[in-house]
Amino acid sequence: MKNKILNDGPLNTDIAAFLLRLVFGGLFIYHGWQKIAGFSEISPQFPDLIGIGGKLSFLLVIFAEFVCGICVVFGFYTRLTVIPILITMIVAFFVAHAKDAFKAKELAFVFMFLSVVIFVLGSGKFSVDRLLQKKRKKKYSY
């Protein structure tokens, strides 16, 4: 029997993708929900970081964090839904926290990096994407 723990290959890429999506998306759902719950307090003071207005910027952040976070957890159009999260983290890292010390923007950097990893890795076998892909293959197979 091969020792999988000492082997340099992956144990199971699909399980790794699932766990990564679960934690990553779950954290974004959590942060998004905090913004939804405190909408009336946060919205008036949310900065206009990209020139589209503070309120619209805040709504886009909520969409990226909460709605796209849910999609990532379930693996629903994962590569597409991780893009708004990536954009949000790019703005947070390079614009909102541009002058801050790295310690203050470290979480945005980690989320930005993990967004890229999820985009490259995809959703894996345990996802809605896989179910949709199977349906498409059945529909178009002859």
Model confidence pLDDT, tens digit, residues 51-63 = 999 999 999 999 9
pTM: 0.87
| Helices 13-37 and 102-121, axial angle in degrees (round to 10) | 130
Q: What is the pLDDT of residue 48?
A: 93
Look at residues 9, 12, 11, 16 and name the one whose alpha carbon lies nearest to residue 123: 16
DSSP state of 38: T
Q: What is the pLDDT of residue 11?
A: 76
CB 48 within 8 A of CB 54: yes
Model confidence pLDDT, tens digit, residues 83-133 = 999 999 999 999 999 999 999 999 999 999 999 999 999 999 999 999 988
Helix (H, G, I), strand (E, B) or coil at 5: coil
Close Cβ partners of 48 (under 8 Å, ≥ 6 residues apart): 54, 57
* Distance separating alpha carbons of residues 64 and 75, to the nearest angstrom: 15
Q: In the structure, how many helices (H) and strands (E) does the chain have?
A: 7, 0
Q: What is the pLDDT of residue 142?
A: 55
Average pLDDT over residues 44-56: 92
- 20: exposed, middle or buried (Cβ count in 10 Å: 0-12, 13-18, 19+): middle
- 118: exposed, middle or buried (Cβ count in 10 Å: 0-12, 13-18, 19+): buried
Residue identified by tokens 């490259």 is: 120
